[in-house]
Amino acid sequence: MKITTLTTIFILLTLSLVATLEAGVEWEMPATPLPMEQLFEGLSYVRCDSRVEGEWPRQISFSHRVYNYRSEIFNVETKTVNLASAPVRIIPHAVGVSEILWAICPRQRLLMFNEVAADPRFSMIADEVVGRGRIFSYKESELVIAAQPDMVFTVAFSDAVFKQRLRQAGIATLDLGSQDSFESVIEEIKILGQVLGESGNAEALLDIIAEKRALLQAALPLRKRSLRLLYYDLGGYIPGVASNFTSLCELVGAVNVGAEQGIKSWKQVDHETLLKWDPEIIIVPLESKLEQKLKADPLLRHARAVKDDRILTIPGLYLRINSQFLLLGANLLAGIVYPNEF
């Protein structure tokens, strides 16, 4: 892919599309520790100097984690996949998987994309996916089966009926479980590289991630105490330990108040609880218009974030990332919570 194309995608996402997702909503990209455009480019297309396929057939074992919302724990088991050869014709059924494969896998091997990967509210590569024109809906198994892929990559949230129909049709699937942290994304990159015979590209991407992560964290301002951030979403839902927001906070040297207060995954809290926890900064999705709602609540006028005018907005796209682009979200979050530092 040409750099000019990547630049165009990024500008569309951050300046024209995301900033005007709803009429009357305006948003300006802040200065960030690392140049957003260059970081996006570096994470979008990775090819190693020398590609080593490895031995075939091969057996790959990995830790499969699925969050149980009833018990609030992860069910973890070791799964094994046996491959006679590298899958050539592949289809991802999740945005995060699509974004990883877009970076490490030759594009001609990607047959189709889920409709969510074509939605700019959820996908960093939506513009390119739409341009390819091979999109199927979330539960549409017929088109996927007709394409006769060698492998379909699903996740814990993939539709159960969709997965069952693929198995009944004899289509090979590999479920990657739940990704709830930056570290789990790194493990997913490794697994996908092994399964596809693209370990060289996967390792090259991981090297870029490690390099950019170190540069990001070295650029952060020195503080005696970490900022306490709370992510407040529609309905009063707050993410806890098992959420990518915890990783975003860790990457920028901050504390996720939801995790600090013992929330495991997501929990609905009232404004009394919000006032009691009293975070220094409240993060809300730009499109939600929750900033105005929270500021107008008489109960919250005593909250530190309200008094200090630190209810801050960020395009929801950057809060939903579940791939290597988490680093892009962290870079943007740093620019938002540490104004005038970069």
156 found inside a domain: yes
* pLDDT, tens digit only, all 342 positions of the chain: 444 454 444 444 444 344 444 445 678 899 999 999 999 999 999 998 766 567 899 999 999 988 888 888 888 999 999 999 999 999 999 999 999 999 999 999 999 999 999 999 999 999 999 988 899 998 899 999 999 999 999 999 999 999 999 999 999 999 999 888 999 999 999 999 999 999 999 999 999 999 999 999 999 999 999 999 999 999 999 999 999 999 999 999 999 999 999 999 999 999 999 999 999 999 999 999 899 999 999 999 999 999 999 999 999 999 999 999 999 999 999 999 999 999
pLDDT for res 74: 84
**116 occurs within a structural domain:** yes
Containing domain of residue 158, as a range? 44-209
Q: Hey, is 311 helix, strand or coil?
A: strand
Give the pTM. Answer: 0.92
Task: Assess if residue 137 is contained within a domain.
Answer: yes
pLDDT of residue 4: 44
| Residue 29 belongs to some domain of the structure | no
Neighbours of 340 (CB within 10 A): 7
Q: What per-residue confidence (pLDDT) applies to 71?
A: 82
Q: Residue 190 domain-assigned?
A: yes
Burial bucket for residue 235 (CB in 10 Å: 0-12, 13-18, 19+)? exposed
Which tokens belong to 340? 């005038």
* d(C-alpha 265, C-alpha 202), whole Å: 29
Query: Is residue 54, in this structure, part of any structural domain at all?
Result: yes
Q: Rounded distance, CA 314 to CA 282, Å?
A: 11
Question: Is residue 12 one of the residues assigned to a domain?
Answer: no
Note whether residue 184 is domain-resident: yes
pLDDT at 21: 45
| CATH code for the domain of 152 | 3.40.50.1980
Strands (E), 126-236: 135-136, 151-154, 173-175, 228-231
User: What's the domain count of the chain?
Assistant: 1
